[in-house]
Amino acid sequence: MGRQFIVEADGGSRGNPGPAGYGAVVIDAESGEVLAEAAEYIGVATNNVAEYKGLVAGLTAARQLDPDASVAVRMDSKLVVEQMSGRWQIKHPDMKPLAARARSAFPVSRVTYEWIPRAENKHADRLANEAMDAGKRGEQWSPSLSTAQLDAQDARAARSLTGGDAAAGTGLGRSLGTSEPEPEPESEPKTEDAPQLPATAVAAPADLGTPATFVLLRHGETALTPEKRFSGSGGSDPELSAAGRRQAEAVAAALAARGTVQDIVSSPLRRCRETAETVAARVGLDVHIEEGLRETDFGAWEGLTFAEARERYPDELTAWLGSEQAAPPGGESFEQVTERVSAARDKLLARYAGRTVLLVTHVTPVKTLVRLALGAPPESLFRMELSAASVSAIAYYADGNASLRLLNDTSHLR
């Protein structure tokens, strides 16, 4: 039988959504020894996304230490604890893939979940704040500079000496730039015998290996593109225009020069297949089709301009602009597209772990992947510019985190 671990995890967002980070710590349940710490600044995200990513990081670290262990997860997020325990449904599309990653990070039969007050989750909370502070400086969290473990030990020692509610007066947290500690519950057990490890004994986060990198290529222009008409998967299947074919050749030359693409996956729609085949001919790869990468079905709006859709379907268009659950008449909602694209992403990540893959797709799937990587709200879809034949890139790490590397690059078209 494996060892017994405690995983404490937390995440925070300064703005919700705003600059976000997570922290996680793996503790030996018998000795109380800190075995591993993990923290990362994840860009703009919500509290819930950051908390889930902290959970994934903690479970991933625990599995790397001992895949046969039993894990007791302790978090101050009621949402995460109740959803992962199966008592609450997971309805938000951003939470579903993160919960799935948490379940796959460690065998669910050997993981239990317990809600704890925020005051008992100081170590993970401090790690998350260190990660956010590093992000504010334009850096990533470094274990060599972390004081989270010592902060947590100081807080425990102060509580044991004062009965639990006087630690706020010690100035330990304030001297390190942290927020003033909250009063602890009087019933908290004493921890005089907790091991006092030196700063040099803080375990580094596990090596996550080479990320899977998705190079996201929007297809070249069709005849509908310059007219800004709705062109999804529910209407005609237009071919590339002469301008679109030139764009495809230009991006193919640029990608061939870089020499980093190892696989090519395309939406089934003609404009994407033509773009993908142009690149494939340059780099000597086959094109694989993924149905989940097709564009939104815009239903009755297919082929219309935005102005025409507003004139003919004013109420439906207003609802669509205001809610990801609203769909064009006879079409798909953004919520449905998010579920489809998320499922395709997860399938491709499992298939192409550690590889650089060119995904040739459409406006909405690219924006959706970017939004999910950043933990941004659904309305961000309307706040991104994505040109025809533009290139974006996202790196996906083994702990479930993602990093946006590039957005709407058209330098190859100039």
Residues catalogued as catalytic: 219, 295
Count of beta carbons in the 10 Å neighbourhood of residue 91? 9
For 303-341, b/e burial (b = at least 16 CB within 10 A) is bbeeeebeeebeebbeebeeebeebbeebbbbbbbbbbb
Which of 102-108's residues contact partners 24+ apart within 8 Å by CB, and which partners?
Answer: 102/52, 102/55, 102/56, 102/59, 102/400, 105/56, 105/59, 105/60, 105/63, 105/399, 105/400, 106/59, 106/60, 106/62, 106/63, 106/71
Residues 6+ apart with CB under 8 A from 108: none
Closest CA to 120 of 9, 14, 46, 36: 9
Query: Across the chain, which distance is largest between two alpha carbons, in Å?
Result: 77
Quote the CA–CA distance of 67 and 46 in Å, as a whole number: 30
Quote the CA–CA distance of 410 and 414 in Å, as a whole number: 7
Q: What is the dihedral of CA 45, 48, 53, 58, to 10 degrees?
A: 140
Residues 6+ apart with CB under 8 A from 104: none
